[in-house]
Amino acid sequence: MDRLDKKILRLLQADTTLAVADVAKRVGLSTTPCWRRIQKLEEEGVIKRRVAILDPDKVNTRVTVFVSIRTNSHSTEWLRRFSEVVTTFPEVLEFYRMSGEVDYLLRVVVPDIAAYDAFYKRLIEKIEIRDVSSAFAMERIKSTTELPLDYMVFDKETRES
C-alpha cells in the first residue's frame, strides 16, 4: 500500500458510488490501474464491505445509550453465552470488552427511553448481570465510519491479515 491506495481509500470511505474512472481521475491514475488497486484492496480485506448508511431518525432509532456492564468472575461458558446473547440484539451496534472499572461497554440505539427500558428488561431476562449502568446521549455531535488513514504503514511487503 502506498499514498495512492490511501487516497483511494479516503475517497471510498466517504462515498462508494463514485465510478472507478472518477476515483482514478481524482487520485491521478488511469482507470485500469486504479481498478486493479481497488480490486487488490478488496482481496486483501482492507476494504471489508460496502454498505448503505441510514438516517437514524428516519428509521426511528433516535436515542443512543451507552451501557456499562460489570460482571462477576464467571465461567467461560457464562462468558460465551453472555457475548452471544448481547450480540444477538439488533439494538446493540457496538459491544466491547473493556479494561478497568467497567467490564463491557455497549452502544445501543432505540426510539426512546421507554423502548430502552423494554430492551433492558429483555436483556436481563435472558442473562443475569451483576451491575448495569446506562448513560443517555443528548446530542450526536459527530458520528462517522471513516477511519483515520494517517497511521497507515507503507511497508515494502504486503502485510498479512
Partner DNA sequence: GATGAAAGGTCTCGACC
Partner DNA sequence: GGTCGAGACCTTTCATC
What is the smallest separation between the CB atom of 62 and a copy of itself, expressed in angstroms?
Answer: 9
Q: Which contacts of 45-49 are long-range, i.e. CB under 8 A and separated by 24 or more positions? A: 45/161, 46/1, 46/5, 46/9, 47/9, 47/12
> 51: burial class by Cβ within 10 Å (0-12, 13-18, 19+)?
exposed
Cell numbers linked to 59: 428509521
State the helix-helix crossing angle for 31-43 and 20-27, rounded to 10 degrees: 100
In the complex, least distance from residue 29 CB atom to DNA, rounded to whole angstroms? 4
| Positions in 105-144 near DNA (CB under 7 A) | none
Residue 4 makes contact with DNA by CB under 7 A = yes
Q: Cβ 69 to DNA, closest distance in Å?
A: 42
Residue whose CB is less far from a copy of itself, 25 or 89: 89
Chain residues 18-77 in contact with DNA, contact rule CB under 7 A: 19-22, 28-37, 39
CB-nearer residue toward DNA: 34 or 123: 34
CA distance 31 to 49: 21
CB contact set of 65 (below 8 Å; sequence gap of 6+): 107, 108, 109, 110, 116, 134, 135, 136, 137
Amino acid at position 129, single letter: I
What is the CA 74 to chain-centroid distance, rounded?
Answer: 27
Q: How far is the CB of 148 from DNA (least distance, A)?
A: 23
- For DNA, the closer of residues 23 and 106 by Cβ is 23
30 interface partner picked from a copy of itself, DNA, none, CB below 5 to 8 A per type:
DNA
Q: What residue 35 binds from DNA, a copy of itself, none (CB within 5 to 8 A, per partner kind)?
A: DNA
Residue 6 touching DNA (CB under 7 A): no
123 is in the binding site of which of DNA, a copy of itself, none (Cβ under 5 to 8 A by kind)?
none
Residues within the interface to DNA (CB under 7 A): 4, 19-22, 28-37, 39
